Amino acid sequence: MEVTQKIEISDEKAAIFKEAANKFGTPVYCYFEDEIIESMNKLMEFPAPYGLTIRFAMKANPNMAILKLFDKLGAHIDAGSSYEAYRAIMGAGINASYIRLTGQLVPEENSLEDLVNLGVHFTACSLTQLELYGRLFPGTEVGIRFNIGIGSGGTKKTTTGGPDASFGIYEQGNEIDKLLAEYGLRLETIHMHIGSGSDPEKQIEADKKVMELVKYYGLVKTLNIGGGFKVARMPYEKSTDILEIGSVVSAELQRFYQETGRKIHLEIEPGTYAIANAGYIIARVNDIISTNHNCKDGHVFIKSNSGMTENTRVSLYGAQHPMSIIPMNGEIRGTKEYVVSGPCCESGDVLTVKPNNPEEIIPRKFTEARRGDLLVIGGCGAYCSSMSTANYNSYPKPAEVLVRNNGRMDLIRIQQASQKMWEDERMPGDL
């Protein structure tokens, strides 16, 4: 099986990658401001007849400079934990009222009270969370995340709806109504999210079904349909058509207004769609080895100094990322098939695997590689730095760079110093 994988890299961008590698070392994450702006402009076209709020899912990339850039572009924040909410407020300086907390865990009572008093909006994702919020803030508005029984993701591991998913409240309407009444809560926001990399048809089905809940709860003013819009990282993949999805939602909201007289504000929570293809990992070809001597099943391996330590999506999901070799001497070379492996002492640290099956490696054609060349990995703006297995084999976290519209490179995370990996450890006195 041959996987189409090549990134089309202009001479200008290749020069930027070389400069970043020389200036900040490799591996290094490299994000492009103009590509983030382009993604945001597309998202702002999402049809919403009665108002739209875009909440950047900060779990995708929580670097404070990235959060602040989205803030300047008009996005609000989707926080998946109390820690993320504090990180956005205290690290990036985001106004608390622009943050919605929708998390898996029941937050600590003192942190929930503090965050809501600061202005953070809260979405209860379980009956326990709803009761806690009701005890702390009776007689106020609240959001609820519902599991409406529809799930869809790029893989089963990224599906967040249906009876196999623990996200949101599932088929417990009577219990919800009792808690709302007991604490005098007004359900202001209904939230759902069916998965990351979701099937557009399933998203449309869910968007229609959730309107039944909006109708039932007469005080609802905002509908949050989550994110998870699929992004084509690879040339053969197809991104979700934002306008197609949005037109269906828009029609439902307009029909609802005609029937009820209620204008519902719309929220979306993109992470991948907002930044995935604006980010790259610039790595170095460290070594080339072969197992195909007198062996028809062998391979030629590129050993890169970046792998699961910077991008665990491949080993987790069999995710596909485009890659290209940039010869450091600028020469023109032919192509050759390689398997790309990372630096870790872990057999799963391979970047060229079968789609959705990290157990099976698939060679790809690259420009013939030499030790010292650059390996550029695309589609790494989302869920790479934030989900990395950093410090495995004691490799330090790499630097992160934001390439500005004027060409300036801003260092937004310094490369981790080795001693930072053990400075919080403690040695017992008798050792």
Task: Show Cβ contacts of residue 271 under 8 Å, excluding neighbours closer than 6 positions.
Answer: 56, 57, 58, 59, 60, 61, 78, 196, 227, 382, 383
Pairing of strands 121-124, 99-101: parallel
Element holding 316 (H helix, E strand)? helix 313-317
- What is the pLDDT at residue 1? 43
**Which runs of E-coded beta strand occur in 335-384?**
335-341, 353-354, 357-361, 364-367, 374-377
Task: Provide DSSP, 353-422.
Answer: EETTEEEEE--EEEEPP-TT-EEEE-S-SSSSSTT--TTGGGPPPPEEEEE-TTS-EEEEEPPPPGGGGT
> What is the sign of the dihedral through the CA atoms of 194, 195, 200 and 202?
negative
CB 315 within 8 A of CB 348: yes
CB 380 within 8 A of CB 35: no
Q: How many CB atoms within 10 Å of residue 348?
A: 16
pTM: 0.94
Domain extents for the chain? 11-29+277-417, 33-275
SS3 20: helix
Please tell me the number of Cα atoms within 13 Å of 166 on its side-chain side: 5
- What is the pLDDT at residue 158? 76
Distance CA 377, CA 280 (A): 5
CA-based R_g, the chain, Å = 23
Alpha helices in 88-172 (DSSP H): 109-118, 127-136
Amino acid at 311: N
Tokens, residue 404: 């500005």
SS3 128: helix
CB 19 within 8 A of CB 282: no
- What is the pLDDT at residue 6? 59
Residue 382: phi and psi, rounded to 5, are -120, 140
- The conformational region for residue 268 under phi > 0 = left, psi -120 to 50 = alpha, else beta, is beta
- What is the pLDDT at residue 108? 93
Hey, what CATH class is 11-29+277-417 in?
Answer: mainly beta
Of residues 280, 399, 385, the one with CA closest to residue 35:
280
3-state helix vs strand vs coil in the chain, percent to 5: 30, 25, 45
Pairing of strands 265-268, 222-224: parallel
CB 62 within 8 A of CB 27: no
Task: Provide DSSP, 73-92.
Answer: TT-EEEESSHHHHHIIIIIT
Task: Provide DSSP, 193-262.
Answer: --BTT--HHHHHHHHHHHHHHHHHSTT--EEE---------STT-----HHHHHHHHHHHHHHHHHHH-P
Amino acid at 69: L
Please return the burial class of 154, using the count of CB atoms within 10 Å of its CB with bins 0-12, 13-18 and 19+. buried
Distance CA 372, CA 375 (A): 9
- Per-residue confidence of the chain (431 residues) as pLDDT tens digits? 455 565 778 889 999 999 999 999 999 999 999 999 999 999 999 999 999 999 999 999 999 999 999 999 999 999 999 999 999 999 999 999 999 999 999 999 999 999 999 999 999 999 999 999 999 999 999 999 998 877 777 777 777 777 776 788 878 889 999 999 999 999 999 999 887 777 778 888 888 889 999 999 999 999 999 988 899 999 899 998 999 989 999 999 999 999 999 999 999 999 999 999 999 999 999 999 999 876 677 899 999 999 999 999 999 999 999 999 999 888 899 999 999 999 999 999 999 999 989 999 999 999 999 999 999 999 999 999 999 999 999 999 999 999 999 999 999 999 999 999 999 999 999 99
SS3 65: helix
What is the CATH T-level fold of the domain 33-275, as seen in this structure? Answer: TIM Barrel (3.20.20)
CB 306 within 8 A of CB 377: yes
Tokens, residue 293: 């001597």
Alpha helices in 25-162 (DSSP H): 33-43, 64-72, 82-86, 109-118, 127-136
Pairing of strands 121-124, 222-224: unpaired
CB 32 within 8 A of CB 349: no
